[in-house]
Amino acid sequence: MTDDIRIVTRDEDVRACHAVMVHLRPHVGPDAFVERVRAQAAQGYRLAALYDGGVPVAVAGYRMLDNLAWGRAMYVDDLVADASARSRGHGGRLFDWLVAHARAEGAAELHLDSGVQRFDAHRFYLAKRMAITSHHFAMKL
Protein backbone atom coordinates (compact mmCIF):
# COMPACT_ATOMS: atom_id res chain seq x y z
CA MET A 1 0.00 0.00 0.00
CA THR A 2 1.49 3.35 -1.00
CA ASP A 3 -0.75 5.52 1.14
CA ASP A 4 -0.02 7.14 4.48
CA ILE A 5 -2.03 9.35 6.81
CA ARG A 6 -0.70 12.37 8.61
CA ILE A 7 -1.89 15.51 10.33
CA VAL A 8 -1.30 18.47 8.04
CA THR A 9 0.23 21.60 9.56
CA ARG A 10 2.17 23.51 6.90
CA ASP A 11 0.29 26.05 4.77
CA GLU A 12 1.46 24.47 1.51
CA ASP A 13 0.20 21.06 2.64
CA VAL A 14 -3.13 22.56 3.76
CA ARG A 15 -3.44 24.24 0.34
CA ALA A 16 -2.76 20.88 -1.38
CA CYS A 17 -5.68 19.38 0.58
CA HIS A 18 -8.03 21.98 -0.89
CA ALA A 19 -8.21 19.99 -4.15
CA VAL A 20 -9.96 17.23 -2.18
CA MET A 21 -11.92 19.37 0.30
CA VAL A 22 -13.49 21.35 -2.55
CA HIS A 23 -15.67 18.29 -3.28
CA LEU A 24 -17.32 18.79 0.12
CA ARG A 25 -16.92 22.55 0.57
CA PRO A 26 -17.07 24.03 -2.97
CA HIS A 27 -17.88 27.51 -1.64
CA VAL A 28 -14.46 27.83 0.03
CA GLY A 29 -11.62 28.92 -2.28
CA PRO A 30 -7.98 27.89 -1.75
CA ASP A 31 -6.88 31.07 0.06
CA ALA A 32 -9.95 31.12 2.30
CA PHE A 33 -9.45 27.41 2.98
CA VAL A 34 -5.94 27.96 4.34
CA GLU A 35 -7.15 30.93 6.40
CA ARG A 36 -10.11 29.01 7.82
CA VAL A 37 -8.01 25.97 8.71
CA ARG A 38 -5.56 28.27 10.51
CA ALA A 39 -8.36 30.04 12.42
CA GLN A 40 -10.02 26.77 13.35
CA ALA A 41 -6.68 25.24 14.41
CA ALA A 42 -6.53 27.89 17.14
CA GLN A 43 -9.76 26.30 18.42
CA GLY A 44 -8.46 22.72 18.30
CA TYR A 45 -9.30 21.79 14.69
CA ARG A 46 -6.88 19.40 12.99
CA LEU A 47 -6.67 18.46 9.34
CA ALA A 48 -5.61 14.90 8.49
CA ALA A 49 -4.86 13.71 4.98
CA LEU A 50 -4.46 10.31 3.42
CA TYR A 51 -1.81 10.43 0.71
CA ASP A 52 -1.47 8.07 -2.22
CA GLY A 53 1.79 8.49 -4.07
CA GLY A 54 2.44 11.76 -2.23
CA VAL A 55 -0.90 13.32 -3.27
CA PRO A 56 -3.80 13.87 -0.85
CA VAL A 57 -6.75 11.69 -1.88
CA ALA A 58 -8.88 11.90 1.28
CA VAL A 59 -9.01 14.54 4.00
CA ALA A 60 -10.70 14.93 7.36
CA GLY A 61 -11.06 17.91 9.66
CA TYR A 62 -11.74 17.03 13.27
CA ARG A 63 -11.49 18.26 16.84
CA MET A 64 -11.38 16.67 20.25
CA LEU A 65 -13.92 18.01 22.72
CA ASP A 66 -15.50 17.42 26.07
CA ASN A 67 -19.18 18.05 26.70
CA LEU A 68 -22.01 16.96 28.97
CA ALA A 69 -23.79 14.93 26.30
CA TRP A 70 -20.88 12.78 25.14
CA GLY A 71 -18.02 13.21 27.58
CA ARG A 72 -14.70 13.06 25.71
CA ALA A 73 -15.40 12.77 21.97
CA MET A 74 -14.00 13.39 18.53
CA TYR A 75 -16.17 15.56 16.32
CA VAL A 76 -15.48 15.19 12.60
CA ASP A 77 -16.24 18.47 10.83
CA ASP A 78 -15.22 17.32 7.36
CA LEU A 79 -14.56 13.94 5.75
CA VAL A 80 -14.20 13.57 2.01
CA ALA A 81 -12.34 11.56 -0.61
CA ASP A 82 -11.34 12.93 -3.99
CA ALA A 83 -14.19 12.25 -6.42
CA SER A 84 -11.79 10.67 -8.93
CA ALA A 85 -10.43 8.30 -6.26
CA ARG A 86 -13.68 7.17 -4.64
CA SER A 87 -14.49 3.48 -4.14
CA ARG A 88 -10.82 2.65 -3.68
CA GLY A 89 -11.01 2.40 0.11
CA HIS A 90 -9.31 5.72 0.87
CA GLY A 91 -12.26 7.12 2.79
CA GLY A 92 -12.60 3.91 4.76
CA ARG A 93 -8.94 3.88 5.71
CA LEU A 94 -9.09 7.52 6.80
CA PHE A 95 -12.29 6.86 8.79
CA ASP A 96 -10.64 3.88 10.52
CA TRP A 97 -7.62 6.07 11.32
CA LEU A 98 -9.95 8.68 12.86
CA VAL A 99 -11.55 6.01 15.06
CA ALA A 100 -8.15 4.73 16.23
CA HIS A 101 -6.89 8.29 16.79
CA ALA A 102 -10.03 9.17 18.78
CA ARG A 103 -9.51 6.14 21.01
CA ALA A 104 -5.84 7.03 21.49
CA GLU A 105 -6.94 10.53 22.55
CA GLY A 106 -9.25 9.06 25.19
CA ALA A 107 -12.52 9.63 23.33
CA ALA A 108 -15.50 7.47 24.18
CA GLU A 109 -17.41 8.51 21.04
CA LEU A 110 -16.98 9.83 17.50
CA HIS A 111 -19.61 12.20 16.07
CA LEU A 112 -20.26 13.92 12.76
CA ASP A 113 -23.08 15.62 10.88
CA SER A 114 -23.89 14.77 7.28
CA GLY A 115 -26.06 16.76 4.92
CA VAL A 116 -29.47 15.19 4.34
CA GLN A 117 -28.79 15.01 0.58
CA ARG A 118 -25.54 13.00 0.93
CA PHE A 119 -27.01 9.53 0.47
CA ASP A 120 -23.74 7.87 -0.54
CA ALA A 121 -22.06 9.26 2.59
CA HIS A 122 -24.93 7.98 4.72
CA ARG A 123 -24.52 4.47 3.30
CA PHE A 124 -20.78 4.70 4.04
CA TYR A 125 -21.34 5.80 7.67
CA LEU A 126 -23.97 3.13 8.28
CA ALA A 127 -21.61 0.50 6.82
CA LYS A 128 -18.99 1.78 9.29
CA ARG A 129 -21.48 0.95 12.07
CA MET A 130 -22.39 4.54 12.89
CA ALA A 131 -25.91 5.18 14.18
CA ILE A 132 -28.24 8.05 13.31
CA THR A 133 -28.74 9.50 16.80
CA SER A 134 -30.18 12.98 16.34
CA HIS A 135 -31.40 15.72 14.06
CA HIS A 136 -29.21 18.78 13.57
CA PHE A 137 -31.00 22.13 13.49
CA ALA A 138 -29.56 25.38 12.15
CA MET A 139 -30.62 28.99 11.71
CA LYS A 140 -29.01 31.66 9.55
CA LEU A 141 -28.33 34.82 11.55
Does 134 map to a domain? no
Per-residue pLDDT of 80-135, as tens digits, reads 999 887 778 999 999 999 999 999 999 999 999 999 999 889 999 999 999 999 98
Does 90 map to a domain? yes
pTM of the predicted model over 0.85: yes
pLDDT for residue 3 is more than 70: no
Q: Residue 36 sits in which domain range?
A: 3-127
Does 112 map to a domain? yes
Does 115 map to a domain? yes
Q: How many structural domains comprise the chain?
A: 1
Does 10 map to a domain? yes
What's the pLDDT score for residue 130?
94
Does 75 map to a domain? yes
Does 32 map to a domain? yes
Does 132 map to a domain? no
CATH code at position 63: 3.40.630.30
Q: For residue 94, which of 56, 64, 125, 50 has the smallest C-alpha distance?
A: 50
Per-residue pLDDT of 43-86, as tens digits, reads 999 999 999 999 999 999 999 999 999 999 999 999 999 988 77
What's the pLDDT score for residue 33?
97
